[in-house]
Amino acid sequence: MSTVRAAGERAAGEAARRRTFAVISHPDAGKSTLTEALALHARAIGEAGAVHGKAGRRGVTSDWMEMERTRGISVTSAVLQFAHRDHVLNLLDTPGHADFSEDTYRVLAAVDCAVMLIDAAKGLEEQTRKLFDVCRHRGIPVITFVNKWDRPGREALELLDEIEREFRLKPTPVTWPVGIAGHLRGLVDVRDDAHMLRYVKAPGGAREAKEELVPADRAAAEEGGDFAQAAEEIELLAADGAVFDRESFLAGKSTPVFFGAALGNVGVRLLLDAVVDMAPAPPARELTGGGVRPVGAAFSGLVFKVQANMDRSHRDRIAFVRVCSGIFERGMTVTHAASGRPFATKYAHSVFGQDRSSVDVAYPGDVVGLVNAAALRVGDTLYDGPKAEFPPMPTFAPEHFAVARPVDIGRSKQFRRGITQLGEEGVVQVLVSDRRGEQAPVLAAVGPMQFDVVTHRMAHEFSAPVTLEPLPYHLARATDAAGAEALNRSRLVRGEALTRLRDGALLALFPDRWQANSFRREFPEGRLDHLIAAHE
């Protein structure tokens, strides 16, 4: 057998053991808590970091940034890799807040499955709907976890009806609660309804909940009407065809549903097993211009995230690369598709939250952190052997704009370096104009909370505090040199044209749609193209 063929078979075999997935939800549905609970049940950590209430929250593994720890929210994605049942799981935690949609969308380009978290009391929320639409568009199968069943909430059947009605997706329960929300007595695995799982929660959810397997006849005697109602609902669902079917799930036509309480680690083990049993292994990946890159082909990888200052003592910069095909070996020289130049991979790490360790080899589905990879940008492709280039990441239309200036003009060098780095990470888009010059760049964001991240990180990581002056624009359109020139000489329309530093594209900014339409009428030859909106 040739060396190339042997390497391909090895890559394909290892890929079959990988599960790369994201946890997505609306803010405060318990996403980071579930992430922590999954790592706990896989024995990747000894104690979960989430406790009751944001104010009492200990260091959650996936929330490594100082701002995340102080505010109790996730503002950037994180990568956790751990083993479970002879499989390697790559879990990508995502920010839930809509203001950080771009980071979440980039993460979804790097996963093969998503766990959608739903609050038992609130049901489907705005950001949940948006993220599901992205999963549908990308063909990502979705597993649903109804969280917080230990608190008062809605009826289980009502939540399933909402999923089916709004997502046009058949919910197929795999576990079912015994007891209404807020009165959880246990869970039934509908694939083996001869037993009920009863849980004893650990204090604060720091450790695994104790499970007791209770035979159905005993559960019926001890739980009375609650168990009888659960059995009746399971029978009703089966008669309605709500039975898990893997083919339907992978095709995006159904979603397996699990119930539990992440904070108490209730139902988490069953969800973790489901990721191994149900989620797809890394598939062949589509290439720009058509065709696919099989997992057994030579190495290829997609840069889906760039992050600076994860290691505060070294002030380094790390590019996160999803291995899409072949075998990655530390030290190998690959090709940077955007420039055609060789790229050395001497400093390669496996990442677990903020912690990292050197990685010598990685396979399709794994995430490798390349340290101090200054040439890499989000959306770049790296490859070995035959050329590969994956479709570019979308850039979303910003709706908030502000001029950034250093508080201390003597720290202009640190200011420029920090703004450039945050732009390359995709924290904000950085725009410049002839009117202001590069010393006063315009920051463009999908949501205003992105500006909070900028001011915090500029002060604490780059030692260059900034002031932000809001601009009266809320609409961006792509334009060209002729459109920019027309906008600058218009006397009827308030607006201006700025250059996006990242790719050199020109953006025309307007206060509102009325001003944009007025410009189109005044200068019909001026090009104005829609950009992808974060809410689309």
Edge-first strand order for the sheet with 317-325 is 341-344, 333-336, 381-383, 300-308, 317-325, 367-371, 348-352, 355-358
Q: How many CB atoms lie within 10 A of CB 439?
A: 13
Q: How would you label 82-117 residue by residue, b for 16+ Cβ within 10 Å and e otherwise?
A: bebeebbbbbbbbbbbbbbbbbbbbbbbbbbbbbbb
Place of tokens 């890394």: 282
Distances (CA, A) of 89 to 7, 224, 274, 379: 22, 39, 12, 23
Angle at 143 between CA 140 and CA 149, to 5 degrees: 150
**What are the angstrom distances between the C-alpha of 460 and each of 72, 419, 469, 470?**
18, 13, 20, 22
Q: Per the annotation, does 95 bind a ligand? A: yes
Distance between CA atoms of residues 164 and 166, nearest Å = 6
Under 8 Å CB-to-CB from 113, ≥6 apart: which residues?
19, 20, 21, 22, 140, 141, 142, 143, 275, 279, 280
Nearest Cα residue to 261 out of 123, 121, 149? 149
Could you tell me if 326 and 383 are in contact, meaning their C-beta atoms sit under 8 angstroms apart? no
Least Cα distance to 215 among 244, 235, 186 occurs for 186
- Calculate the CA 52 to chain-centre distance: 24
**End-to-end Cα separation, the chain, in angstroms:** 49
Is 480 annotated to bind ligand?
no
93 marked among binding-site residues? yes
C-alpha angle 260-264-267 in degrees, rounded to nearest 5: 30
Q: How far apart are CA 470 and CA 283, in angstroms?
A: 45
| DSSP SS3 for 345 | coil
Q: Exposed, middle or buried: residue 238 (CB in 10 Å: 0-12, 13-18, 19+)?
A: middle
Strand segments (E) across 228-284: 254-259
Q: Which of 500, 443, 445 is nearest to 467 (CA)?
A: 443
d(CA 302, CA 282): 13
What Cα–Cα distance (Å) separates residue 465 from each residue in 30, 99, 428, 438?
32, 22, 16, 17
CA 219, distance to chain mean position in Å, is: 39
Binding-site annotation: residue ranges? 93-97
Binding-site annotation: residue ranges for GTP? 93-97
